[in-house]
């Protein structure tokens, strides 16, 4: 068999399709946690486990979740800075691959946490406004995902 003679392609067609079972999201959760994490990382509408809806949360909960998101965002920004520092010593090929794979994932995660932090910051501000001031009820000022 020589490259380009087509005979090696037959093996690809006879091989069982192993990725079909990942189409079910619940199965992907068990079999491909990396894919689930990637999907979560880019979706600002997904709350963390135990995280309430900012539109109905108390001031105490808003302060707690704002702190949680500040911690996570600080960590993600440090991870991204460390990646960039490590990239400086890499070959151009390695650096390009990191730019195409690692960096977009970390940036997407940081963006998600930044958006979620914004929801909680606005919730805190809404609770801290004097009664009767402009700005409306907490539920009205916390943006729904995709509307900011």
Total structural domains within the chain: 1
Q: Whole domain around residue 68: which residue ranges?
A: 9-141
On whether residue 118 sits in a domain, the answer given is yes
pLDDT in tens, 92-104: 999 999 999 999 9
On whether residue 86 sits in a domain, the answer given is yes
On whether residue 147 sits in a domain, the answer given is no
pLDDT in tens, 97-144: 999 999 999 999 999 999 999 999 999 999 998 877 665 555 544 544
CA distance 139 to 74: 27
pLDDT in tens, 26-72: 555 567 877 777 777 778 889 999 999 999 999 999 999 999 999 99
On whether residue 146 sits in a domain, the answer given is no
Inter-residue contact 102 to 91 (CB < 8 Å): no
On whether residue 1 sits in a domain, the answer given is no
């Amino acid at each position: 068999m020589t490259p380009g003679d087509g005979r090696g392609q037959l093996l690809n067609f006879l091989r069982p399709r192993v990725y079909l079972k990942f189409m079910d999201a619940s199965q992907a959760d068990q079999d491909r946690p990396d894919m689930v994490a990637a999907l979560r990382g880019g979706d600002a509408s997904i709350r963390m486990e135990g995280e309430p809806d900012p539109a109905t949360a108390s001031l105490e909960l808003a302060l707690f979740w704002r702190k949680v998101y500040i911690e996570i965002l600080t960590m993600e920004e440090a991870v991204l800075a460390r990646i960039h520092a490590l990239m400086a010593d890499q070959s151009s090929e390695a650096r390009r691959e990191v730019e195409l794979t690692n960096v977009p994932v970390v940036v997407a995660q940081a963006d998600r946490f930044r958006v979620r932090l914004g929801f909680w910051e606005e919730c805190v501000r809404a609770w801290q406004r004097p009664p009767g001031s402009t700005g409306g009820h907490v539920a009205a000022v916390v943006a729904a995902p995709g509307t900011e």
